[in-house]
Every structure is written in structure tokens, then in C-alpha cells.
């Protein structure tokens, strides 16, 4: 018959593999586990929850069910954490004593490190500010919070560093001040 109709035999024996859209038997259970756990569980934890019940379900299947039902895990956003070190913890006298006004040029230079999230990664900024006129006299920025960042901030200062009488910083949540010789 296929020869007479001039069609390949494979066409005659072909069975469509497209199944009817049947609801997944685990959809309701995945949604239940997700909602019971404050909408915080992702595919890994849901899979573990099923494993404790003795049910085997792949993460792909769980992800497909979650995507189909619009379930998105509310995970915590990456937070900045202070890198605590034990070096340079010597106590230094509070020479500035919150007296920021009425200073001479380059008498007191203050500095601070801060951070900002850029393109999904933390980047750091070090600023050097002259209290005489609140002018930024030096700065640097980079992806690492290290000595190089501070070194580059000092290197960017156009004035003679020996003219600075007091250098003040509150880095690492401490009042650490030092005088230049």
C-alpha cells in the first residue's frame, strides 16, 4: 500500500510521541512543601523533603513544576561581612576629639573605607579628606579591601605628605588615629 501511495513505510508505522498535557502527580505536593516552608525552599531542599518521605524526585522535575506554577524561592541576598583581623590593635589617643572645624590646611586628614555592589560584586573605595576645606585630597577604588587600596589612596595625594600633622580614620569600627613624624 505504501509503494502504491508512494510514501515511506516509516510514515505508516510512525506513532506520535506527543502526550496529552497531564497534570504532574507531584505538583500539589511540591507546592505544599514550598508553601509550608515560608516559600524559602528551592529544588535541593524540596528534594530532601521528599527523600525523608521515601519519595524519589529529581531536581529537574521539581524545578519544572516550580517554574510552571511560578514558585520562586525567597533566598537571602548576599550581605557584606567585615573581615576582622588581629593586627595593629594598639590603642591610640583621640587627638582630634571630634573637633573638625577651624583647622589649617593639611593639619588633619581623615580617611574612610566604604563599599558598593557593582555588577554583583563588592568594590571598595578609600577616600582621604582634608578637614580644612572638606576637599578630597586622595582616593582609590578597587575590587579588594587590602593595603594596596590604601596605598593607592595615599599615592594619589598631590601634596607633600610631611605637611599632614594628624591622620584620622575610624576603620574597623575603632577610633584609631596616628600622627605622622
Q: How far apart are the C-alpha atoms of 158 and 83, rounded to whole Å? A: 30
pLDDT digits (tens, 9 = 90+) for 41-80: 999 999 999 999 999 999 999 999 999 998 988 875 566 7
Place of cell 577604588: 141
Domain boundaries, the chain: 25-76, 108-179
**Is pLDDT of 172 > 60?**
no
Average pLDDT of 139-168? Answer: 88
- Identify the pLDDT of residue 173: 42
State the chain's mean pLDDT as an integer.
81
Q: Is the pTM of this model over 0.85?
A: no
- Identify the pLDDT of residue 63: 92
Higher per-residue pLDDT: 33 or 82: 33
Q: How far apart are the C-alpha atoms of 7 and 174, rounded to whole Å? A: 85
Average pLDDT of 91-114? Answer: 78
Q: Which of 171, 173, 142, 170 is nearest to 155 (CA)?
A: 142
SS3 140: strand
- C-beta of residue 109 within 8 angstroms of C-beta of residue 166: yes
pLDDT digits (tens, 9 = 90+) for 127-152: 998 888 888 999 999 998 888 998 99
- Identify the pLDDT of residue 85: 62
Amino acid at each position: 500500500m505504501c509503494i502504491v501511495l508512494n510514501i515511506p513505510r516509516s510514515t505508516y508505522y510512525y506513532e506520535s510521541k506527543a502526550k496529552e498535557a497531564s497534570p504532574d502527580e507531584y505538583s500539589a505536593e511540591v507546592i505544599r512543601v514550598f508553601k509550608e516552608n515560608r516559600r524559602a525552599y528551592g529544588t535541593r531542599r524540596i528534594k530532601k523533603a521528599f527523600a525523608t518521605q521515601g519519595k524519589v524526585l529529581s531536581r529537574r522535575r521539581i524545578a519544572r513544576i516550580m517554574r510552571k506554577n511560578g514558585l520562586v524561592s525567597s533566598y537571602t541576598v548576599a550581605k557584606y561581612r567585615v573581615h576582622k583581623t588581629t593586627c595593629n590593635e594598639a590603642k591610640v589617643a583621640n587627638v582630634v576629639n571630634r573637633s573638625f572645624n577651624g583647622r589649617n590646611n593639611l593639619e588633619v586628614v581623615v580617611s574612610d573605607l566604604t563599599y558598593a555592589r557593582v555588577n554583583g560584586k563588592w568594590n571598595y573605595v578609600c577616600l582621604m579628606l582634608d578637614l580644612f576645606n572638606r576637599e578630597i585630597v586622595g582616593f582609590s577604588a578597587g575590587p579588594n579591601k587590602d593595603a594596596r587600596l590604601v596605598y593607592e589612596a595615599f599615592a594619589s595625594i598631590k601634596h607633600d605628605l610631611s605637611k599632614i600633622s594628624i591622620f584620622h580614620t575610624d576603620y574597623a569600627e575603632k577610633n584609631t588615629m596616628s600622627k605622622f613624624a
